[in-house]
Amino acid sequence: MTPTEAKRPLQLNDQGQLRHFLSLDDLPRELLTEILDTADSFLEVGARAVKKVPLLRGKTVCNVFFENSTRTRTTFELAAQRLSADVITLNVSTSSTSKGESLFDTLRNLEAMAADMFVVRHGDSGAAHFIAEHVCPDVAIINGGDGRHSHPTQGMLDMLTIRRHKGSFENLSVAIVGDILHSRVARSNMIALKTLGCPDIRVIAPKTLLPVGIEQFGVTTYSNMDAGLKDVDVVIMLRLQRERMQGGLLPSEGEFYRLFGLTEQRLKLAKPDALVMHPGPINRGVEIESAVADGPQSVILNQVTYGIAIRMAVLSMAMSGQNTQRQLNQESEEQN
């Protein structure tokens, strides 16, 4: 490793361009804005008769999903295809990992397929970072969600949804509601909102579903739903992640809905034009009332549409950053 590589953040190349996309931690506001602007430019591709641009023609994107996620996997596949890449999706349920093969050995076998980019979703926090640290230099790694740590493309598609409906972030009040403790989406959203200049980020949850040290994200916590929703511009509901819970963190789903479910009556506490968002899948009658999820203030389906554009932006920007770094390395070798 060269001294320059040792100093450079893992996600960025020597010129500060995106090289991997692992989390939103420490990424500058300018880069997040560039991702949003690039995604904006890709939205019109979805309206074309031929939904293709040639930016990744000849490149191979490998989706490696160790966790199930129909929505995220499908939108990554569509994003890569619309960029004209060849797409491979690894069926983990029938792969060698289910037979005990290590993540490192799986990585080496995938590298042998000569893919240019891996989109990785894994149940262990830090898995995407591990792969990025050990993958061969010319391969880009995109985090499709890792444990409780990060879901950066979901965070950015949520930011695109907010920006397209509300404009700038500087005067907004945003409430994130529900299972904060187990949610990588909540963490990514808190980081993105703070980086983009949102002055009032509220977190609403029972105390048993709040992580220790959440104050470091610059948020205000509420254990009372009505108080937390007062006059907010955006309400981001989270899925109650029952598969990650251990012990009696909640008395019952019915009690959670009574105290923290988003109903039509509760939504009236927010501003009249407040957005309602949810990363999905929705547990109706547990986190949110159907009338709200399907109502005029809901932009949940818009989030899915914007997700394709965000993932196109990230894939294209990371590949461009890798290409730039390769050229810089070649020029450096020639000079030496």
Nearest to 285 by CA among 318, 312, 252: 252
What DSSP assignment string belongs to 203-250? EE--GGGS-TTGGGGS-EEES-HHHHHTT-SEEEE----GGG--SSS-
| Cα–Cα distance for residue pair 271/59, rounded to 1 Å | 46
Is 151 labelled as part of a ligand binding site? Answer: yes
Query: Residue 332: in which H helix or E strand, if any?
Result: helix 300-335
- Which residues is 65 bridged to in the sheet? 91, 121
Is 184 labelled as part of a ligand binding site? Answer: yes
Question: Are the C-beta atoms of 159 and 39 separated by less than 8 Å?
Answer: no
Is 327 labelled as part of a ligand binding site? Answer: no
Is 121 labelled as part of a ligand binding site? Answer: yes
Question: Are the C-beta atoms of 64 and 110 separated by less than 8 Å?
Answer: yes
Query: Residue 153: in which H helix or E strand, if any?
Result: helix 152-166
Taking the C-alpha atoms of 191, 196, 198 and 201 in order, what is their torsion angle to the nearest 10 degrees? -10
Is 280 labelled as part of a ligand binding site? Answer: yes
Is 72 labelled as part of a ligand binding site? Answer: yes
Question: Are the C-beta atoms of 272 and 213 separated by less than 8 Å?
Answer: no
Tally: H helices and E strands in the chain: 12, 9
| Cα–Cα distance for residue pair 121/272, rounded to 1 Å | 37
Positions at the binding site: 71-72, 99, 121, 151, 154, 184, 239, 280-281
Positions at the binding site for L-aspartate: 99, 184, 239
Positions at the binding site for carbamoyl phosphate: 71-72, 121, 151, 154, 280-281
